[in-house]
Structure formats: C-alpha cells, structure tokens
Amino acid sequence: MAYENIRLEHDGAVATLTIDRPKALNALNNKTLQEIEAAVRSLGSDTRVLIVTGGGEKAFVAGADIAEMASLSESQAQEFAALGHRAFALLESLTIPTIAAVNGFALGGGCELALACDFIYASEKAQLGLPEVGLGVIPGFGGTQRLTRAVGRARAKELVFTGARIDAAKAKEIGLVLEVLPAEGLLAHCRSVAAKILKNGPLAIGKAKRVIEQGADKDLTEANTLERQGFAELFGSEDQREGMKAFLEKRPAVFTGK
C-alpha cells in the first residue's frame, strides 16, 4: 500500500513505522491517523518487533494538526478523537513488542503515540508533554489515561494541568522514558534492543506482553493466576520444546513461533 504521510519499512522481522510530514513537524491529521491504523493492520506474522519514529531532525510528532482541528464541531471532534483512540489502541494491542524512538518533539498526540508503545527511548534532543490545556482542550488520544499509568496520578496531573514540556532527562527521571541516547545513536539502540528480542521465543514474548498488560490493573492473586495460566499454555508448543532442547544441548534455539 502506498502512503502519503508515513513510511513502513521492513528489515527482516523488524518493521519501522516513520511518521513523515517533516514540514508539519509530523503533526497528526486525519489522513496520518488513518495511515497509521492501516499500517499497523497490515503487519503480518513475519514482523516480530515494531519501531515507531518521526521523519526529519526536529520532531517525533509535534502534536495533532491544530490547523485541521481549529474549526471542528463537537461531533467532528468526537470522530477525530475516536480515530486517534482506535489507531493507538490497535498499536497497543499488538502481540509483538513496540518501541517508540522519540527523536525530537513528542507533544500532545505525539506523546500519546509514544505512550501507546511498550517502551520509549528518547534522543537527548527530545521534548515530551501534553500541552493541550493551553489550547483550551484536553488530550484526546488516550494521553490522560496512559500517562497516569506510566508515571502515576499526581505527576500526570502536574504535566497535564501545567501543559509543561519536559526534556528527555526529566522524562527518564519520572519513568516515562527508559533511556536517553545521543540523537545519532537512537535508532541503532532501538534496533539493538529489537535484535535481542528476536533471539527469544515469539510465542513466549506475546504471552508475557498479554500477561503484563492484563495483570497490571488486577490484584496480585488474579494477576498471578494469569501468569500461571500463561506459563502452562506455552507447554506443548514447538517453541517450548525447541527452547528447552537447545538449552540442554548448549546451542542457540531456532524458534518458529509455533
């Protein structure tokens, strides 16, 4: 499929989704959100890690497209928010690991896009925040909820109420970003993490992701039940037999995702 505002590139089992509207600082308009949704839906079983980043040198995604939003009616705003929620929920629901490579401004919708990924690595040049209240609105693509789950209620309220931008170092300090990298090394680092993930069993990784996500909002007893069930469900898979056989034979495992 040909895209206008994004690029989807494959390098073996690693796919890279690049938001590519550099003249608009990769702002998210209707077309771009539709293309993100389509690209995520297009990923096949041969893709085992997805990296999300921004085109150009200044921005990951500087926010939603204010020029497009400014004249929306309430019903149109509802539809726009629903599109963003749908695209980001789809990204979040992938069974494969997703990595946000935040290479510049990740504000508003850009921060929300990064939050929909499993984890975030940021360039030293990155700035993150949810400044929507300065426009008289609130985050509309899941930011209030995912940010709260990432950094806690009080810190999320502080960031949303003040509309503050924070640098990558501060984002790491509060647990929003895992690591801060030199700009020139950001994608290489993300790819090195992807390479480590690819050495492991894809069924196990998918199950671990599901158990972590589903267990996060449950009490410990329920969450541990999910883990126990997930652990047992992997036995009898070809990957489990291969992984344990390879360990006993002191060789690298060759996983097939079966």
Domain hosting 243: range is 202-248
Same domain, yes or no, for 231 and 175?
Answer: no
Query: Per the domain annotation, does 66 fall within a domain?
Result: yes
**Whole-angstrom Cα distance, residue 234 to residue 237?**
6
Same domain, yes or no, for 185 and 215?
Answer: no
The pLDDT assigned to 211 comes to 96
Query: Per the domain annotation, does 254 fall within a domain?
Result: no
Query: Per the domain annotation, does 239 fall within a domain?
Result: yes
Q: Which of 92, 112, 124, 184 is catalytic?
A: 112
The pLDDT assigned to 57 comes to 87
- Its pTM stands at 0.95
Same domain, yes or no, for 123 and 176?
Answer: yes
Query: Per the domain annotation, does 119 fall within a domain?
Result: yes
Same domain, yes or no, for 211 and 183?
Answer: no
Bridge pairing between strands 179-181 and 119-123: parallel
Bridge pairing between strands 165-167 and 127-129: antiparallel
Residue 112 known to be catalytic:
yes
Same domain, yes or no, for 84 and 102?
Answer: yes
Count the domains in the chain: 2
Query: What is the full per-residue pLDDT of the chain (258 aa) written as tens digits?
Result: 789 999 999 999 999 999 999 999 999 999 999 999 999 999 999 999 999 999 998 999 999 999 999 999 999 999 999 999 999 999 999 999 999 999 999 999 999 999 999 999 999 999 999 999 999 999 999 999 999 999 999 999 999 999 999 999 999 999 999 999 999 999 999 999 999 999 999 999 999 999 999 999 899 999 999 999 999 999 989 999 999 999 999 999 999 999
Query: Per the domain annotation, does 253 fall within a domain?
Result: no
Same domain, yes or no, for 101 and 213?
Answer: no
Same domain, yes or no, for 130 and 59?
Answer: yes
Query: Per the domain annotation, does 183 fall within a domain?
Result: yes
Residue 92 known to be catalytic:
no
Same domain, yes or no, for 171 and 151?
Answer: yes
Give the list of residues 6+ apart from residue 52 with CB closer than 8 angstroms, or none.
16, 17, 18, 19, 91, 98, 99, 100, 101, 113, 114, 117
Same domain, yes or no, for 156 and 206?
Answer: no
| Closest C-alpha among 164, 65, 60 to residue 115 | 60
The CATH number for 58's domain is: 3.90.226.10
Same domain, yes or no, for 187 and 207?
Answer: no
DSSP 88: H
The pLDDT assigned to 2 comes to 87
DSSP 20: -
**Whole-angstrom Cα distance, residue 153 to residue 245?**
45
Query: Per the domain annotation, does 1 fall within a domain?
Result: no
Query: Per the domain annotation, does 121 fall within a domain?
Result: yes
Same domain, yes or no, for 171 and 58?
Answer: yes
Same domain, yes or no, for 163 and 89?
Answer: yes
Last residue of one domain, picked from the residues 198, 221, 239: 198
Q: Which of 9, 37, 79, 132 is catalytic?
A: 132
